[in-house]
């Protein structure tokens, strides 16, 4: 028997031993009876399908499921009757538990009004694809509202209010056409959640000028501080008007030379005076000769 045959025999014996050991362990484990551990559960109301904000809850769009009693849902419901005829104030995904913070109070009705917090107002503004940031202004996003005032000589742009939450985008028909997909909404109206003071500013700006919306990062919560910009500041120093420029380029008119005053002849020179010293006898005197 050569060396190669001995090696094959050793490998075959090892494989048979491993198979026998594995089968023995499997047989021993399969004879162990299955122990079922009962976990205490309680009922929880969840959404039977995806539900939109403002929708009224019925017995058809919610269901009861078993939920571990050791980890109860904060603010959850355990009966369907507790949520029927109550409106949603936030979107709910399929099989998501219905909690108190996502439904309107009893007898508050459905639709948009129950989702407006106390002290706030919902205000709609007309938009298009440009103003609505190409349709990406969707419910839940935050925007800055900017007004453009057009005057005769120059225009002026400034942020009216900042960090405003978008409640709805478009009509209900526009929202249903998206089918819950993350794609732009071709809306013509956007509803904003604002304070009464901001509602007054937006109303005045919408009446006297044109509104623009600028989309914000949801993590950027700082108020926008801007003094605005005028059209004259876009290009630095502006050239003077044509009339002023032509007046500056025109040479100055020549003024007539002043007329010299009449020359007055100088006075004649004073006559020369000579002094002569005269000596008469013992007297000396001086005489003036002109």
Average pLDDT for 259-270: 64
User: Where does the pLDDT of residue 173 fall: very low under 50, low under 70, confident under 90, or very high at 90 and above?
Assistant: very low
- Whether the pLDDT of residue 174 is over 60: the answer is no
Residues near 206 by beta carbon (within 8 Å), at least 6 away in sequence: 125, 126, 147
Q: How much is the pLDDT for 245?
A: 47
- State how far the Cα of 267 lies from the Cα of 256, in Å rounded to an integer: 32
Among the residue ranges 47-51, 97-101, 175-179, the one predicted with the least confidence is 175-179
Q: Is residue 80 scored above 80 in pLDDT?
A: yes
Rounded CA gap, 164 and 201, in Å?
A: 13
Looking up tokens 């900042």 gives: 162
Q: How high is the pLDDT of residue 155? A: 82
Q: Say if pTM beats, i.e. exceeds, 0.75.
A: no
CA 283 to chain centre: 124
- Give the whole-angstrom CA distance, residue 92 versus residue 183: 18
Task: Say what the pLDDT of residue 9 is.
Answer: 83
Topology of the domain covering 38-114: Type Iii Antifreeze Protein Isoform Hplc 12 (3.90.1210)
Q: What is the pLDDT of residues 202-260, one digit of tens each?
A: 898 888 888 888 888 888 888 888 888 887 777 665 555 555 445 545 555 555 556 56
The confidence band for 109, taking pLDDT boundaries of 50, 70 and 90, is: low
Report the C-alpha gap between 195 and 117 in whole angstroms.
Answer: 10
> For the chain, where do the domains classified as CATH 3.90.1210.10 start and end?
38-114
* pLDDT score for 255: 58
Counting every residue written for the chain, the total comes to 290
3-state secondary structure the chain: CCHHHHHHHHHHHHHHHHHHHHHHHHHHHHCCCCCCCCCCEEEEEEECCCECCCCECCCCCEEEEEEECCCCCCCECCCHHHCCCCEECCCECCCCECEHHHECCCCCCCCCHHHCCCCCEEEEEECCCCCCHHHCCCCCCEEEEEEEEECCCCEEEEEEEEEEEEEEECCHHHHHHCCCCCCCCCCCEEEEEECHHHHHHHHHHHHHCEEEEEECCCCCCCCCCCCCEEHHHCCCCCCCCHHHHHHHHCCCCCCCCCCCCCCCCCCCCCCCCEEEEEEECCEEEEEEEC
Higher pLDDT, 85 or 184: 85
What is the mean pLDDT of the segment spanning 7-30?
87
If pLDDT is split at 50, 70 and 90, which confidence band does 46 have?
Answer: very high
290 vs 22 pLDDT, higher one = 22
Tell me what percent of the residues of the chain surpass a pLDDT of 90: 6
Mean of pLDDT over the chain: 78
């Amino acid at each position: 028997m050569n060396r190669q045959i001995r090696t094959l025999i050793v490998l075959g014996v090892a494989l048979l031993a491993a198979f026998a050991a594995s089968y023995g362990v499997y047989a021993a484990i399969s004879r162990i009876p299955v122990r079922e551990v009962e976990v205490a559960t309680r009922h929880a109301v969840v959404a039977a399908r995806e539900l939109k904000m403002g929708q009224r809850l019925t017995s058809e769009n919610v269901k009861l499921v078993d939920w571990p009693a050791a980890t109860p849902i904060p603010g959850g419901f355990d009966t369907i009757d507790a949520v029927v005829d109550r409106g949603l104030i936030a979107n709910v995904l399929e099989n998501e538990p219905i909690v108190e913070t996502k439904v309107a109070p009893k007898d508050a009705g459905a639709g948009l009004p129950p989702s407006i917090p106390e002290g706030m107002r919902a205000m709609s503004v007309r938009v298009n694809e440009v103003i609505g940031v190409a349709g990406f202004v969707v419910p839940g996003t935050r925007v800055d509202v900017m007004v453009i005032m057009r005057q005769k000589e120059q225009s002026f742009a400034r942020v009216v209010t900042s960090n405003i939450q978008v409640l709805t985008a478009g009509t209900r028909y526009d929202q249903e056409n998206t089918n819950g997909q993350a794609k732009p909404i071709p809306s013509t109206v956007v509803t904003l959640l604002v304070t009464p003071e901001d509602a007054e500013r937006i109303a005045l700006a919408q009446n006297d000028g044109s509104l623009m919306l600028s989309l914000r990062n949801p993590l950027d919560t700082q108020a926008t501080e801007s003094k605005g910009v005028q059209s004259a500041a876009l290009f630095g120093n502006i050239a003077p008007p044509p009339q002023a420029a032509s007046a500056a380029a025109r040479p100055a008119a020549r003024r007539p030379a002043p007329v010299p005053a009449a020359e007055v002849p100088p006075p004649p020179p004073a006559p020369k005076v000579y002094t002569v010293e005269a000596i008469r006898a013992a007297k000396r005197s001086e005489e003036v000769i002109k």
